[in-house]
Structure 1
Amino acid sequence: MVDRIQSIRGMHDILPEAGAAWSWLEATIREVVESYGYQKIRLPIVEKTELFARSIGEVTDIVEKEMYTFADRNGESLTLRPEGTAGCVRSGIEHGFLHNQLVRIWYSGPMFRHERPQKGRYRQFYQMGAETFGMEGPAIDAELILMTARLWRALGLGGLRLELNSLGNAEARAAYRDELQSFLRSRRDELDEDSRRRLESNPLRVLDSKDPDTREVLREAPQLLEALDESSREHFEGLCELLSSAGIEYVINPRLVRGLDYYSRTVFEWVTDALGAQGTVCAGGRYDALVSQLGGRETPACGFAMGIERLLALLEAQDLLPAPAVPRVYVLSQGAAARREALHIAEAVREARPELGVQVYCGEGGLKAQMKRADRSGAEVALILGEQEVVEGMVTVRALRGEATQNMVAQTALLAELLRHCPMDQEGR
């Protein structure tokens, strides 16, 4: 017996019954972001490893432990993209669309990180992200947050909490880093193993620790917001004022630092308590130094990314997912001539009523077996063609839901009969 090949751990199939939910979510995202004037960019899945080492940070968990990196046939180190921002910046520098421009772009697609798989966390996962370039003030930070809030409303989602923080500029962050490092060294024995490792290489990441004992130590740690430079403080206060005036509720979380080194000033997360440990649904902030860090000219930048699987899990938890797509019309036939006519009729209905969804039984089974298939399909109406119908130019129309009515109509009157069984909604669908 031949061994079956299974998918790679942490890389999951998205099965057909989930297709309607994915399509609906992706269409809603597209509608919202494009209503703000954002244009879609499509990026390579594979990039040079150096791109992520220089942007995300060599001492981050992503670069140290989670990237899928390999040497190609020319010996060059390549990596499956773990996130989308670095690729957007690389593309902008390479194609020259960032300098002296006001840019709003968005992307979606698979990302890859070699993490421990669990509910809501995969090694191949899907993200949607938006990135902006050339806008320095807090208005663009607010716009991105307003756009995500609008998306939650469009999806009907509730129970999401917005958390904000500011990391300040590079100088203020470096001074705070030294102060925090000194404090953590004095409490080193009370920290968890990961935090002790990060203490020397990237102490700000200790602030993001989930270990209860370490979090207790951090209660006494110096606060980043108290170390902000004046410009960053004004920027953060301006953002808070804009959000308050727009009616957006938020919580200031002084320990919010994000897991990527390129962030500066604003950082934010939309979090939920409904998904256990995987509570962050959307996260972002400013990364004003990243363009110059990757070889471009100094350019203010801000963006966010959200996990599609986590969004779907939250939608499912709140019973907001659409039902799987099913055909509303199922076509049955008996005999060679009727099978040919069935295909013609199905095409005519699709042409006139594309919103219905029409499925044709393509096989040799008898009408009784076909009718069972039609019923299991979830269709509302069965169209039945036999030798008599073909000769007389008729179609038998049978209701599959509610009262089981059946009548024979002329093919020329079929569309009117279908309209009676399957009326259009208010938007003409």
Structure 2
Amino acid sequence: MNMVALATVARIAPTRGICRRFSSKARNGPTNAVKGMKDRFGDESQRFQLITEKGVRVASLYGYEQISTPILENSRVFERTLGEDSDVVGKELYSFVDKGGDRLTMRPEGTAGITRALIGQHLYHDLPQKYYYFGPMFRHERQQKGRLRQFEQFGIELFGQNHASSDVEVIELASLFLSSLGLKNVTLEINSLGNNASRQIYKEALRHYLAKHEDGLSKDSLNRLSTNPLRILDSKAPQDIEILENCPVLSDYLSVPSQQRFSFITETLAQLNIPFTVNPRLVRGLDYYQDTVFEFKVASSELGPQQGTVLAGGRYDGLVEKMGGIAGVPSIGWAAGMERLSLLLNDQDVPPKTRPVVVIPIPEQNHFSADTLPPSTMALHSHAFVISSALRKQGVKVEFMHLTGTKAQTQKQFARADKMNASHAVLIGSEEMNSGVVTLKCLDSRTEKHCSVDQLLEELGAKSTKKVIE
């Protein structure tokens, strides 16, 4: 068989007209994804996989183990924990009544569900418990760059450690995780909300101050004034920011234990060479936080000024008790938005895809039915598949070129191999099968040689092993 005739062919691409007609139809048809949700594949899917792998590797260094909770929870899980006056509960939950009459909610965040699992599975009898998690969350919110209605998070939760050193641990873990992704211009902002008693005193002082400026507050801040004025501190409305310039500072109302705790955390972070800024206006949007809160931000044109937070968390010592569990279970954790992290990753940050080897059976017949293969072609096809299976068992990535009906299809198969950036092609015809050899073609140098099946397995298997070790 003359392999020279099977040289490189040009890549085949669909015409622009076909693409334009298909795209136009898809935008208006039922094949579109739900608003605020998207399909993810190709390079973007690879970036998400990289983020998850880095997160798992770093969390494992600190003794964290994976936990997975259902996407659907009883609605009370979130209504009791997030705060009934919060934007998430008031506007953003995906909730419905199922056929059995139960009110269910698609999880908007991970902490409440994991805390529910801690209580329901009685995991609090063996503290501490350290978990990492990843997966989709759902919020019906306004779409922005890096913010979708179905979005992915990677996060950690630590139950049963009360000392301020545990706060430092989770912050250091977060810093190492972001560093492992090669992110630039990362800044850490940190604050203390104080314990419940000091926070309530500060709330009243803040409410008293803001009540004097009601006429200038935004509509959202006016609504929050009577429910939770702390959330006004996080307002992005220009008129609110101006009013807040002279408002009481939370740190002035911290109890002595909270002050000592925060001092330990900031001093230890400095010793660890983790730069930070104390932001007295920093609060978290959910009701269960107390004492330490923090955010990691990235200045990037990819995200914009309002979407720079890529990872955030804090302490929530009262959450287990609030959800019906035992009292006195200290808890802290954080979550990172994977969509935003993906936008920040450059192509060079993502490892290149493993190059496949293509196996191409080449039939003797010029034309045949793909449904009724001639006996000789069936034997060739099976023989080529056995070789493909043996290569995969050695860890070689193999793309098997299934027979399509004509010998001329071989040229198109070379075009596919070129498109997928294959490193080698293994060509098998009847002569090779009967002689116990294959033709191995290097698609970079365009050189080829005959070798036995054992030699093929040894050569491609060794190449694959060497690449994994490097």
TM-score range, shorter chain: over 0.9
CA distance in structure 2 between the partners assigned to 1:376 and 1:342 by the alignment: 21
- Residue 361 (structure 1) aligned with residue 361 (structure 2): no
Q: Deviations over 1:30-74 (max 9, x none)?
A: 111112111111111111111111111000100000000111223
Bigger mean CA deviation after superposition, 372-381 or 152-161: 152-161
CA distance in 1, matches of 2:52, 2:391: 27
Unaligned runs of 5+ in 1: none
Residue of 375, 390, 411 corresponding to 2:453: 411
User: Which residue is equivalent to 2:343?
Assistant: 313
Deviation string for 1:377-408 (max 9, x for gaps)?
1111111111221121111111112x221111
1:349 to 391, 394, 416: 391
Structure-2 separation of matches of 1:358 and 1:196: 62
Give the structure 2 partner of residue 300 of structure 1: 330
Q: Which of these residues, 356, 359, 363, is aligned with residue 331 of structure 1?
A: 359
Please point out which of 314, 320, 336 is paired with 1:285: 314
TM-score of the superposed pair, with normalisation by structure 1:
0.94
Aligned to 1:98, what secondary structure does the other structure show?
helix
Amino acid at match of 2:401: Y
Residue type of the alignment partner of 1:414: L
Partner of 1:428: 469
Query: Moved runs in structure 1, 4+ residues, more than 6 A?
Result: none
Counterpart residue number, 2:129:
103
1:261 equivalent in structure 2: 287
Q: Is the 8 A contact 1:385 1:395 kept in 2?
A: yes
Q: Output aligned runs, 1:14-53, within 5 Å.
A: 14-53=40-79
Measured in 2, the distance between the counterparts of 1:338 and 1:117 equals 54
Uncovered stretches (5+) of structure 2, i.e. residues with no partner: 1-24, 364-376
* Amino acid across the alignment from 2:138: F
State whether residues 95 and 104 of structure 2, in contact with CA within 8 Å, keep that contact through their aligned partners in structure 1.
yes
Amino acid across the alignment from 1:156: G
Note if contact 1:40-1:105 (Cα within 8 Å) is conserved in structure 2: yes
Matched, 1:385 2:428: yes
CA distance in 2, matches of 1:92, 1:48: 15
RMSD: 1.9
TM-score (ref. length: structure 2)? 0.86
Matching residue's letter, 2:194: G
Deviations 1:241-270 (A, max 9, x none): 111111111110111101101000000011
For the residues of structure 2 that align with 1:5 and 1:370, how far apart are their CA atoms? 30
> Which one is further off, 186-195 or 60-69?
186-195
Contact 2:159 2:332 in 1 (8 A): yes
Whether contact under 8 Å (2:56, 2:132) holds in the other structure is no
**Offset, 1:419:** 6.0
Alignment of 1:141-156 (within 5 A): 141-156=167-182
CA distance in 2, matches of 1:390, 1:315: 46
Are the counterparts in 2 of residues 327 and 359 from structure 1 also a CA contact under 8 Å? no
- Counterparts of 1:128 and 1:428, CA distance in 2: 28
Equivalent positions of 1:60-139 (< 5 A) are: 60-99=86-125, 101-139=127-165
Structure 1 vs Structure 2: percent identity of aligned residues?
A: 39
SS of the residue 1:201 aligns to: coil
Change (3 A) 1:187 1:3: closer
AA aligned to 2:362 is: Q
SS at match of 1:305: strand
Q: Deviations over 1:174-201 (max 9, x none)?
A: 1111111111111122222211221111
**Structure 2 partner of 1:206:** 232
Report the Cα offset of residue 100 of structure 1. Answer: 6.2
Query: Higher Cα Rg: structure 1 or 2?
Result: 2
